């Protein structure tokens, strides 16, 4: 059965817009008794069907597959195999090792008889190639069943190409949307990841060039327009730019394209303040298309934009002028933050500036958790549609290096810059070994601020003084609070030595000038390259008129907590339920 499954996986192709490509680039795996005799044997016997990649940690295999799939617009991925027991739970969590996968899988089946692999594998493929349903699929393969013989139908293992559909939104809904746009005075497009995954960026650009509608970007949608387009407002929401958040506040029509309207994008429902604001939601998933009581255009982003572009509309010159002025002001703010000259330690914004300037136009930045994703969302100047890769659907610490590995495998012709905090690095850095083993060159820049700066700053805003977020020696029962001095007695963690010990080229730099020089060396290098730099934990990028709903305790003996709660109650009053029907 395992041999049949490997042959099946090797023969899955997808086709979109006439371009056909292989769906599974290979199989990651760590073997134990639960898969070594089955899937392991099959991969060994058929190395030309599916290349096997060895990882250090099961969790990282999923990150690498995820990074690869996102970089390839979800048109290709890797399979991942783990053994039963701790290997499997390392991939997800706890409880019965099979059932733990069920709630995190878009498709799940347990294969109790060998021939059951036939319908199950086909059903799993249907989900994997569905633009709306796509996500992890799990086939739980009992140890003995993997080794069983069965009559494998030829058609099952023959080459198969799955067409990726571009579903058209309903024609009547397009007409209604065009009417809403026609009547709008201050329209705004919010571009989400769907714009990028559907290859809709050219269509989007053509449409906004004609209409003058400005575009704000979510984390997944960043890069939908190049940063220097005159209508590119940049990031929106909690981690938004001054330009995007200002235009959002006053918008009378918001056109969300391929966005899930997460808490961050809407600044916990405070981003849109016009009492009459209406929403149009273009999304392949009906679930997201209905949000904010919007007019739902259920379908492919590119198809929807092309349909809407058939209707003529332009914004008034006064609105366009305002947008362009705010965009120019924002660009100056980014310049300022890139070159703060902060001492004695540089600010993180300067590190981002140096990496951005060292990166070529098609290069990719990869990140996931900590204070970097928010700062990158605001400050990274994205020049290519696939140039910005931040896992912020979940913000998984440890995604960075493993995900960056997947990104580089999907795009070997681009330089990949992984920006990672010291906390995330310590959670999952060992895939550097895999990068060394496979000769996959990534450049990793570790920002060392001795712990969790992001959660530290959130803790401070809630009145909790950075509790539990410092990497310090325990003294008098405490591992450190913000007020106990800036860097105090930090732990003697040598991240540069750690990276070198895993086989990467590694160096530690102190100043931004040294960082620039190291980045030049890293570019010329042919092996994984890690640069470590300390940054000032307290010198953060401002928030631009945004708010995030994180509730401080309602009752506390600490005055700071009570003050934070009071500020929270005031802030929360600005949250609006968007319930108004689009009619
Ligand atoms: C696996 C995981 N555990 C916990 C968190 C919650 N969390 C978000 S950011 C963060 C701290 C990250 O520290 P570091 O990588 O050093 O970045 P910094 O905050 O210092 O910028 C934590 C603990 C998370 N996102 N992922
Ligand atoms: Mg840190």
Phi, psi of 40, deg, nearest 5: -60, -45
Question: What is the whole-number distance in angstroms between the Cα of residue 336 and the centre of ligand 2?
Answer: 23
Residue 234 CB partners (closer than 8 Å, separation 6+): 216, 217, 227, 240, 241, 243, 244, 327, 330, 378
Residue whose CA lies nearest to ligand 1 atom number 5: 397
Report the atom number in ligand 1 closest to the C-alpha of 398: 1
Nearest CA to ligand 1 atom 4: 397
Residue 158: CB atoms within 10 A of its CB come to 10
Residue 236 contacts residue 244 (beta carbons within 8 Å): yes
**Spatial separation of the C-alpha atoms in residues 347 and 447, rounded to whole Å:** 10
Q: 471 or 405: which carries more pLDDT confidence?
A: 405
Which residue lies with its CA nearest to atom 11 of ligand 1? Answer: 452
DSSP-assigned letter for residue 309: T
Best CA proximity match to 277, nearest among 254, 257, 255, 244:
254
Which ligand is closest in space to the CA of residue 427? 1
Protein residue closest via CA to atom 10 of ligand 1: 370
Distance from Cα 398 to the centre of ligand 1, integer Å: 9
User: Quick check: 440 and 527 in contact, CB under 8 A?
Assistant: no
CA 370 to CA 34: how far, in whole Å? 36
Q: Residue 456 CA: which ligand 1 atom is closest?
A: 19
User: What pLDDT score was predicted for residue 94?
Assistant: 52
8 A C-beta contact, residue 167 and residue 284: yes
Model's pTM, two decimal places? 0.93
Ligand 2 center to 426 CA (angstroms)? 10
Which pLDDT score, from 0 to 100, does residue 290 have? 96
pLDDT tens digits for 67-101?
A: 999 999 999 999 999 988 777 778 776 556 788 88
- Of the CA atoms within 13 Å of residue 183, those in its CB half-sphere come to 12
Residues with CB under 6 A from ligand 1: 369-372, 395-398, 421-424, 449, 452-455
pLDDT digits (tens, 9 = 90+) for 428-482: 999 999 999 999 999 999 999 999 999 899 989 998 888 888 889 878 878 888 8
Q: Can you spell out the DSSP letters for 344-406? A: SSPPHHHHHHHHHHHS-TT-EEEE-SSSHHHHHHHH----STTSEEE--SS--TTHHHHHHHH
Percent of the chain with pLDDT over 70: 99
The CA-based angle 148-127-143, given to 5 degrees, is: 20
Give, using CA atoms, the residue closest to atom 1 of ligand 1.
Answer: 397
For residue 86, the model assigns a pLDDT of 73
Residue ranges in 384-494 assigned as alpha helix (H): 399-410, 422-427, 431-438, 453-461
Per DSSP, 85 falls in state T
Per-residue pLDDT reduced to its tens digit, 489-548:
889 999 999 999 999 999 999 999 999 999 999 999 999 999 999 999 999 999 999 999
297-353 pLDDT, tens digit per residue, is 999 999 999 999 999 999 999 999 999 999 999 999 999 999 999 999 999 999 999
What is the 421 CA–ligand 2 centroid distance (Å)? 5
- CB contact at 8 A, 293 and 579: yes
**Cβ pair 78, 25 in contact under 8 A:** yes
Contacts 24+ apart (CB under 8 A), 540-543: 540/347, 540/348, 540/371, 540/375, 540/453, 540/457, 541/337, 541/348, 541/349, 541/374, 541/375, 541/378, 541/379, 543/238
- Is the alpha carbon torsion for 512, 516, 518, 523 positive or negative? positive
Ligand number with the minimum distance to the CA of 539: 1
Mean pLDDT estimate for the chain: 94
Strand 416-421 to 443-448 pairing? parallel
Sign of CA dihedral 463, 464, 465, 466: negative
C-alpha 452 – ligand 1 centre gap (Å): 6
- All residues at 6 or more sequence positions from 442 whose CB lies less than 8 Å from its CB, including other chains: 401, 404, 405, 408, 416, 417, 418, 435, 528, 529
184 pLDDT tier (thresholds 50, 70, 90): very high
CA 365/CA 352 separation, integer angstroms: 10
Residue 537 CA: nearest ligand 1 atom is 20
* C-beta separation of 366 from 431 below 8 A: no
In the three-class reduction of DSSP (H, G, I as helix; E, B as strand; rest coil), residue 273 is classed as coil
pLDDT at 486 over 60: no
Alpha helices for 72-192 (secondary structure H): 86-91, 117-128, 143-146, 154-157, 171-183
Q: How far is the CA of 369 from the centre of ligand 1 (A)?
A: 5
Report whether 583 contacts 280 (CB < 8 A): no
Residue indicated by tokens 């007019």: 295
Which atom of ligand 1 is closest in space to residue 449's alpha carbon?
A: 20
d(CA 427, CA 404): 15
Q: Which residues contact 430 (CB under 8 A, 6 or more apart)?
A: 56, 57, 60, 502
Token pair 């307290």 in the structure block, residue? 538
Q: Which atom of ligand 1 is nearest to the CA of 371?
A: 21
CA distance 336 to 498: 34
pLDDT tens per residue, range 13-70: 999 999 999 999 999 998 888 888 889 999 999 999 999 998 888 999 999 999 999 9
Q: Which atom of ligand 1 lies at the shortest distance from residue 454's CA?
A: 19
pLDDT of 485 strictly over 80: no
Cα(123) to centroid(ligand 2), Å: 42
Relative to the CA of 424, which ligand 1 atom is closest? Answer: 15
Ligand 2 mean position, distance from CA 65 (Å): 25
Count of beta carbons in the 10 Å neighbourhood of residue 250: 15
pLDDT of residue 95: 55
Q: What is the pLDDT of residue 202?
A: 98
On the question of pLDDT at 487 being above 60, the answer is no
> How far does the centroid of ligand 1 lie from the alpha carbon of residue 112, in Å?
40
> What is the rounded CA–CA span in Å between residue 294 and residue 182?
16
**Could you give the percent of the chain with pLDDT greater than 90?**
84
Residue 370, pLDDT above cutoff 70? yes
What's the pLDDT at 394? 86
β 19-22/12-16 pair status: antiparallel
Distance from Cα 285 to the centre of ligand 2, integer Å: 36
Whose atoms come closest to the Cα of 393: which ligand? 1
**Could you tell which of 219, 264, 452, 456 is best to mutate to test the pocket of ligand 1, judged by most ligand atoms within 8 Å of the CB?**
452
Which atom of ligand 1 lies nearest, measured to the CA of 426?
15
- Residue owning the nearest CA to atom 9 of ligand 1: 370
């Amino acid at each position: 059965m395992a041999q049949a499954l490997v042959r099946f996986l090797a023969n899955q192709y997808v086709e979109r817009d006439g371009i056909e490509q292989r769906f599974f680039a290979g199989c990651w795996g760590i073997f134990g008794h639960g898969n070594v005799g089955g899937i392991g044997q099959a991969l060994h016997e058929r190395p030309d069907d599916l290349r096997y990649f060895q990882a250090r940690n099961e969790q990282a295999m999923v990150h690498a597959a995820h990074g690869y799939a996102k970089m390839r617009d979800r048109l290709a991925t890797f399979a991942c195999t783990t053994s039963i027991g701790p290997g499997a739970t390392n991939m997800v969590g706890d409880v019965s090792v099979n059932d733990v996968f069920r709630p995190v899988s878009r498709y799940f089946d347990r294969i109790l008889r060998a021939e059951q692999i036939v319908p199950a594998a086909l059903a799993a493929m249907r989900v994997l190639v569905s633009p709306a349903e796509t996500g992890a699929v799990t086939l739980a393969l009992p140890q003995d069943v993997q080794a069983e013989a069965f009559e494998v139908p030829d058609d099952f293992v023959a080459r198969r190409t799955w067409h990726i559909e571009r579903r058209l939104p309903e024609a009547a809904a397009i007409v209604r949307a065009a009417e809403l746009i026609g009547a709008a005075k201050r329209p705004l497009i919010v571009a989400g990841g769907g714009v990028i995954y559907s290859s809709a960026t050219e269509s989007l650009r053509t449409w906004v060039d004609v209409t003058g509608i400005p575009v704000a970007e979510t984390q997944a949608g960043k890069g939908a327009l190049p940063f220097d387009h005159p209508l590119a407002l940049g990031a929106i929401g909690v981690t938004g730019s001054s330009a995007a958040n200002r235009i959002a506040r006053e918008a009378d029509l918001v056109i969300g394209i391929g966005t899930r309207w997460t808490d961050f994008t809407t600044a916990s429902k405070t981003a849109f303040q016009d009492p009459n604001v209406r929403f149009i939601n273009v999304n392949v998933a009906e679930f997201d298309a209905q949000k904010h009581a919007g007019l739902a255009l259920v379908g492919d982003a590119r198809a929807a934009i092309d349909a809407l572009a058939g209707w003529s509309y332009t914004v008034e010159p006064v609105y366009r002028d305002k947008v362009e002025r705010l965009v120019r002001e924002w660009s100056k703010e980014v310049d300022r933050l890139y070159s703060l000259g902060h001492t004695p330690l540089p600010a993180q914004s300067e590190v981002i500036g140096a990496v951005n300037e060292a990166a070529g136009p098609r290069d990719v930045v990869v990140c996931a958790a900590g204070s970097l994703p928010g700062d990158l969302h605001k400050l990274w100047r994205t020049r290519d549609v696939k140039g910005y890769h931040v896992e912020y659907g979940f913000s998984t610490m440890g995604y960075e290096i493993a995900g960056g590995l997947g990104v580089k495998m999907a795009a070997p012709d681009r330089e990949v810059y992984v920006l990672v905090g010291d906390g995330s690095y310590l959670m999952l850095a060992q895939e550097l070994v895999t990068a060394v083993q496979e000769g996959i060159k990534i450049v990793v820049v570790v920002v060392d601020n001795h712990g969790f700066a992001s959660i530290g700053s959130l803790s401070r805003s809630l009145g909790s003084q950075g509790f539990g977020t410092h990497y310090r020696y325990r003294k008098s029962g405490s591992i450190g609070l913000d007020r106990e001095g800036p860097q105090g007695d930090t732990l003697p963690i040598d991240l540069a030595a750690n990276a070198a010990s895993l086989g990467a080229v590694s160096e530690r730099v102190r100043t931004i000038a040294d960082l620039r020089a190291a980045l030049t060396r890293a570019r010329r290098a042919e092996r994984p390259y890690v640069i470590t730099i300390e940054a000032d934990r307290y010198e953060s990028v401002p928030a631009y008129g945004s708010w995030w709903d994180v509730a401080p305790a309602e009752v506390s003996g600490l005055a700071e907590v009570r003050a934070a709660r009071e500020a929270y109650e005031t802030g929360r009053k600005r949250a609006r339920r968007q319930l108004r029907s689009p009619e």
